[in-house]
Structure 1
Amino acid sequence: MKNRIINIYGLVLLAIVGSLTACDKQLDLAPEDTTVESEVFQTAASAESALMDVYNKTYEANKQTAYTIGDVTTRLIEVTSTYSMALVSGNLLTDDYTAEEIWSKTYSAINVANVIIKSVPELGTYNEDLEKQHVAEAKFLRAYNYLVMLRLYGDGALKGKMDGLCLPLQLAPYAGTEFVSNNALKRSTNDEVYTQIIKDLSEALPDLRVEYDDDLETRARATKGSVHALLSRVYLYMGNFQKAAEESAFFVNNSTYRLAPDLRSVFPISSGVDVDLDEEFIYAIPLTFNGGDHQFGTHYYPYYSKSVGYVSDDYIGKFSGTDQRITDLIWEGNPLSIYNSGKLTTSKFNNKDGRDNIPMIRLSEMYLTRAEALARTDGKVQEALDLLNAIASRADAAFVDYNLSDFATTEDLIDRIMLEREKELAFEGLHRYDIIRTGRKLQFKNGDGVYEDVPAGRYVLPIPKREIDITKGSLVQNPGYL
């Protein structure tokens, strides 16, 4: 079945599907050539090929800064790249290429998901249950991509500002041959975007599989588990801790997902060829290799080369000397790199050619989400402590389990859970958003080696100037960039 995964993540679609997806987003011009869509959805195989383009575009949207911004903009990384300093300090210009590329590539994925969601029910002529599954997978991916965008562009979206402006909710494929400014979508509120994400995930849940015959597919495609996990993350970002706890409860004693006894098996040294996904992955983008040519090329993460910076002493100082997350998952990286010689980096991404599995949601995140949510709703409860102990003891054989009496207050327990999230999930694209949603400050080290606060209005990226210009102002800029 591995060849099937190769098809999922490496497929270069023929023109018949490309013509459906050539327009990256609602704000672009439509493609000049079109193809009858019914030809694509006559068979399960061709429809699945179109669906796999959504997976591929989701990878394209998350293979660079959209993923690493979650960590390189925090004190986990000592940034040395001059270009990256603008991102880290909140000084991006409104016409910055990074903000525009993230926007463009993510809306490209959303647009192809819209094609599946609309066209399969209307034009599909294959097995009805499989049609429903394909639509459900597309809804999961649309929700995932909208959440990526929400946390980067939504004004106050992680701070409970539900009336803040978020994103244009494009829920139908782009149509038409000419851009008309008065038809351009405006930015929906954070509340409206959150509501749509939850709606997509809730509608997807009944029609998704629990698991596939092949374990790699179970962790690389949308399942009931990945929906519950993403819903848990959504509710955590919203501050709805009761719902976050309910969704993450799906993973308690769930035999499909298990914590590995050692972290090196979760993040093995990558050969650059097919590398299995460990059982604790709920959703990941897998490394694939076919015919001697890596289907994805490289993911352009800067960790191995240390071209952006290196792991900070501040982060390393939070561990004991027996913790696997230091002994096994921190190393020098490329010893021949011209960048930051002798400094340390993460080995979660360790292939010299950038050919690694990409973690999107892991079981350890769900343990810590449930622990935090239970503590915030029920106080110092044993289950929250047990979940914290499970993650900490797995990483460090010398760790001694906590007792409830070790924490004077519920806030002390929550603080310790948040520290464990930082240690466990570092370099997986999440830390920035934990900082923002918990009311802490984003900081960067200036040229004098002193930490400064990022301006409060720059906790989100600018709406790309190009998008504002071509809509003639239908899209408005985030307040911090006016």
Structure 2
Amino acid sequence: MKNRIINTYSFALLAIVGSLTACDKQLDLAPEDTTVESEVFQTSSSAESALMDVYNKTYEANKQTAYIIGDITTNTFVPTSAGAQLLSSGNLLTDDYSAEKIWGDTYSAINVANVIIKSVPELGTYNEDLEKQHVAEAKFLRAYNYLVLLKLYGDGALQGNMSGLGLPLQLEPYAGTEFVSNNALERSSNDEVYAQIIKDLTDALPDLNEDYDDKLETRARATQGSVHALLSRVYLYMGNYAKAAEESAYLINNPIYALVSNLRSVFPITDGIDEDLVEEHIYAIPLTYNGGDHQFGTHWFFYYSRTFGYVSDDYLGKLSSTDQRMTELMWSGNSLSSENYGKLTTSKFNHKDGRDNIPMIRLPEMYLTRAEALARTDGKVQEAVDLLNRIARRADAAYVDYKLSDFTTAEDLIDRILLEREKELAFEGLHRYDIIRTGRKLQFKNTDGVYEDVPAGRYVLPIPKREIDITKGSLVQNPGYL
């Protein structure tokens, strides 16, 4: 199975794109949507190739800025490049390339997922159970990508404003290549987008495997576990802590997933050819190698070079000298820039050409989500403390377990859990959203080296001006950019 993942992620798009266009202009042939698309979904292997393109496009949508914005725009990291400083300060223009690229790449992944969801039931002629599984995988990926968009563009989506402007919910494949402005979708509310994400995930759940014969597929493809994990994140972002606790428990109590003792094995120093995914990966984008920097090749996270920025003293000061997250997962990077000389960067992503496994959901997140959710719903409870201790103790052999009596209030416990989330999940694209959802202020370091608050209206990215223009105003801009 592993070889199939590596080799089929990239060749299905040509068939799918062809199926969404009109007939050949030079030949009097039947429209391609009655030939090519039906051929794609005749066999399980060709249909799976099309599905793999959704995985590939999810990678394309979540590499580069879309992933690292979760950390480089917080006080965990000090960006020194001009583009990263614009992101951190909230000073993006409405025609900013990064905001436009994230939007376009993510909707591209959603569109191909829509093709699978629509076409497999209509045109599929292979095993019915496998057809249902393929649709379920596409629904998981559509939900994942919609959550990426919502946390970046949904006005107030992480702050409990469920009536705020969310996203246009595109749930059907694009009808051809030409855009028709009078058919443009308006932005649904945050609540409606969350509801669609939850619907996709709950609909997908019964038709997904618990695991696969091949370990890589269990960690890199949608499973029942990855659905529960993503639901726990969704409910946490919504502030539905009872459901977040319930969903995360599925992973903690599931023998398919386990914490490993050595953090370096989760983020191995890679030669850029192949690395295993370990038991605590719930959903990850695997490093693969096929002779070139494509497919899951260059993720462009920029952490390797200190010319892009470096880990802040603020973050480093939260780690003890015996913490693996300091001793194993920090290094000096590859830059001799005089400005950043001697500074540290993360070695979670360490290949010089950006060829690393990319964790999307790891088991420690589930421990800390359940711990926080229990503390918020039940107050000071022993299980929340135990879950916190399990993650902190794994990272630091010198760590002394907390007792319940060490916390005066539930808020004290929550604050310590949030600190552990910051330490454990740093540079995995999550910290920005934890700051926003918990009511803390986003800050950036100005040119004088002083932290300033990001304007409240700039906690989300601008809806790309091009999208607003092409829809003739059907899409409404986020208020902070008006």
Assess same fold via TM > 0.5: yes
Aligned to 1:258: 258
Query: Aligned equivalents of 1:382 and 1:372: distance in 2?
Result: 12
8 Å CA contact 1:242, 1:374 repeated in 2: yes
Q: CA offsets per residue over residues 46-65 of structure 1, 9 Å max, x none?
A: 10010000000000001110
8 Å CA contact 1:21, 1:111 repeated in 2: no
Q: Would you identify which runs of 4 or more consecutive aligned residues in structure 1 move more than 6 Å?
A: none
SS in 1 for 2:284: strand
Aligned to 2:431: 431
Aligned to 2:179: 179
Residues 293-302 or 406-415, more deviating: 293-302
SS in 1 for 2:158: coil
8 Å CA contact 2:12, 2:52 repeated in 1: no
Deviation at 1:91, TM superposition (A): 0.4
Query: Aligned equivalents of 1:178 and 1:103: distance in 2?
Result: 18
Query: Aligned equivalents of 2:96 and 2:453: distance in 1?
Result: 21
SS in 2 for 1:111: helix
Matched, 1:391 2:391: yes
Deviation at 1:13, TM superposition (A): 2.9
8 Å CA contact 1:331, 1:347 repeated in 2: yes
TM-score by length of 1: 0.95
Deviation at 1:308, TM superposition (A): 2.3
Provide structure 1 residue ranges, at least 5 long, that are not aligned to the other structure: 24-31
RMSD: 1.6
Q: Do the aligned partners of residues 21 and 360 (structure 1) sit closer, same or farther apart at CA in structure 2, a change above 3 Å counting? A: farther
Query: Aligned equivalents of 1:189 and 1:307: distance in 2?
Result: 40
Query: Aligned equivalents of 2:421 and 2:293: distance in 1?
Result: 36
The one-letter code matched in structure 2 to 1:126 is Y
Q: CA offsets per residue over residues 227-258 of structure 1, 9 Å max, x none?
A: 00000000000000000001011023311111
Aligned to 1:16: 15
SS in 1 for 2:283: strand
8 Å CA contact 1:168, 1:186 repeated in 2: yes
Deviation at 1:14, TM superposition (A): 6.0
Aligned to 1:362: 362
8 Å CA contact 1:8, 1:55 repeated in 2: no
The within-5 A match list for 1:58-97 is: 58-97=58-97
The one-letter code matched in structure 1 to 2:15 is I
Aligned to 1:454: 454
Provide structure 2 residue ranges, at least 5 long, that are not aligned to the other structure: 23-30
8 Å CA contact 2:252, 2:363 repeated in 1: no
TM-score by length of 2: 0.95
Query: Aligned equivalents of 1:174 and 1:335: distance in 2?
Result: 44
Q: Do the aligned partners of residues 14 and 391 (structure 1) sit closer, same or farther apart at CA in structure 2, a change above 3 Å counting? A: closer
Q: Do the aligned partners of residues 116 and 76 (structure 1) sit closer, same or farther apart at CA in structure 2, a change above 3 Å counting? A: same
Deviation at 1:179, TM superposition (A): 2.6
8 Å CA contact 2:21, 2:177 repeated in 1: no
8 Å CA contact 1:20, 1:112 repeated in 2: no
Query: Aligned equivalents of 2:177 and 2:334: distance in 1?
Result: 48
Q: Do the aligned partners of residues 452 and 20 (structure 1) sit closer, same or farther apart at CA in structure 2, a change above 3 Å counting? A: farther
Query: Aligned equivalents of 1:206 and 1:411: distance in 2?
Result: 37
Residues 295-304 or 207-216, more deviating: 295-304
Q: CA offsets per residue over residues 287-341 of structure 1, 9 Å max, x none?
A: 0012466643311111001232100000000111100000100111115567723
Aligned to 1:26: none
Query: Aligned equivalents of 1:294 and 1:180: distance in 2?
Result: 33
Aligned to 2:118: 118
The one-letter code matched in structure 2 to 1:256 is I
Q: Do the aligned partners of residues 177 and 305 (structure 1) sit closer, same or farther apart at CA in structure 2, a change above 3 Å counting? A: closer
The one-letter code matched in structure 1 to 2:87 is L
Identity %: 79
Deviation at 1:33, TM superposition (A): 7.4
SS in 1 for 2:333: coil
Deviation at 1:83, TM superposition (A): 2.1
Query: Aligned equivalents of 1:22 and 1:59: distance in 2?
Result: 25
8 Å CA contact 2:445, 2:451 repeated in 1: yes
Aligned to 1:321: 321
Aligned to 1:408: 408
Deviation at 1:447, TM superposition (A): 1.0
Aligned to 1:275: 275
Q: CA offsets per residue over residues 120-152 of structure 1, 9 Å max, x none?
A: 000000000000000000000000000000000
Query: Aligned equivalents of 1:177 and 1:333: distance in 2?
Result: 44
Q: Do the aligned partners of residues 235 and 57 (structure 1) sit closer, same or farther apart at CA in structure 2, a change above 3 Å counting? A: same
The one-letter code matched in structure 1 to 2:12 is L
Query: Aligned equivalents of 1:297 and 1:261: distance in 2?
Result: 28
The within-5 A match list for 1:29-68 is: 36-68=36-68
